[in-house]
Amino acid sequence: MSVLPPTTTLKTDQNQISTSENDKTRKVVIPATSSSSSLVQSSSPETLNSDADIQKIYDCAKLIRDWPEVSSALTAHPEWLTRIPDNRQWAILHQIVYSGDVKHLDEALSLQATNSDFRLLCRGRDGKTVREVAAERASIHPTMLQCIERLVAIDELLDNAKSRKWDLVKQFITLQPDIVNEKSPYRRYYLIHHLAYVGQLDVFKDLSKICHFRLDLLAGNKTIIQLAREHNKIAFAEHIESLRTKSNEITEDKSDQTISSQLTGIKYYSSDF
């Protein structure tokens, strides 16, 4: 995704809310699932100064300053991204989305890989999700809205795969086949790893008719074949191995043809085209 230059906007939470309510920009309304839109509650301080610390980091995110300090704090306390400080309406995540800085969002989300409680569509005290914040700012930061919408689509696809709802998975891939090899920064598995985990070879073959799976994707530094074998899904592992072997043979054949063409001046064309 391309990154747009962030626009610095210094507003209080209340000003942000009233501006959003009076804004005439287009809003994208997509039904949210109950599991992904739960209200974020303020948590008890983990240390004596944690409340003061999170207030400081929140202000840095809100005023778009000292990002390295924000990143360092979220590395140590990833849960702070969606925690709402006292006397605030939003979480740090809302402020990052409001700023429109996609690069900062990507970095913050990647730090959530160890936070099993993270939900992208958490709500602020005003009831708004980051999708709504991005939609209200779409005329200023359109790339941020595109990024959020894509993350929401990927999350829904992978949630359906995790729940073994293969019919819904197929519907998603049919409508948006380009997300088949993507995952959110805070996710562990791609779609193909969910298939390998449970050995759904028939589903894999069916989906392969409408999209192209990358076979070199890693999850936790493990290949698709390793994951399948670890869970005793031998048929799935062997099928992927055969596909990779064929792919390597085709690559080597094309390489040989290129070298031969360079030496003889005769061009070789693939019979597939």
Q: What is the token pair recorded at 142? A: 């359109």
Identify the bridge partners of residue 123 per DSSP, sorted by sequence position: 39
Q: Give residues with Cβ within 8 angstroms of 91, minimum separation 6.
A: 40, 81, 82, 83, 84, 122, 124
Q: Per-residue pLDDT tens for 50-82?
A: 788 999 999 999 999 999 999 999 999 999 999
Q: Which CATH class is domain 188-258?
A: mainly alpha
pTM exceeding the 0.95 threshold for the entire prediction: no
Q: What is the token pair recorded at 220? A: 């936790």
Per-residue pLDDT band at 204 (split at 50, 70, 90):
very high
Give the closest residue to 11 by CA, choosing from 164, 140, 102.
140
Residue ranges per structural domain of the chain: 13-154, 188-258
Whole-number Å distance between alpha carbons of 195 and 142: 34
Q: Per-residue pLDDT tens for 108-125?
A: 999 999 999 999 999 999
Q: Which CATH class is domain 13-154?
A: mainly alpha
| Residue 125 near residue 92 (C-beta atoms within 8 A) | no
Q: What is the token pair recorded at 25? A: 């920009």
Q: Per-residue pLDDT tens for 138-183?
A: 999 999 999 999 999 999 999 999 999 999 999 999 999 999 999 9
Mean pLDDT score, 200-219: 97
Whole-number Å distance between alpha carbons of 272 and 151: 35
Are 13-154 and 188-258 equal in CATH topology? yes
Please provide the average confidence, as pLDDT, over all residues in the chain. 82
Q: What is the pLDDT of residue 253?
A: 56
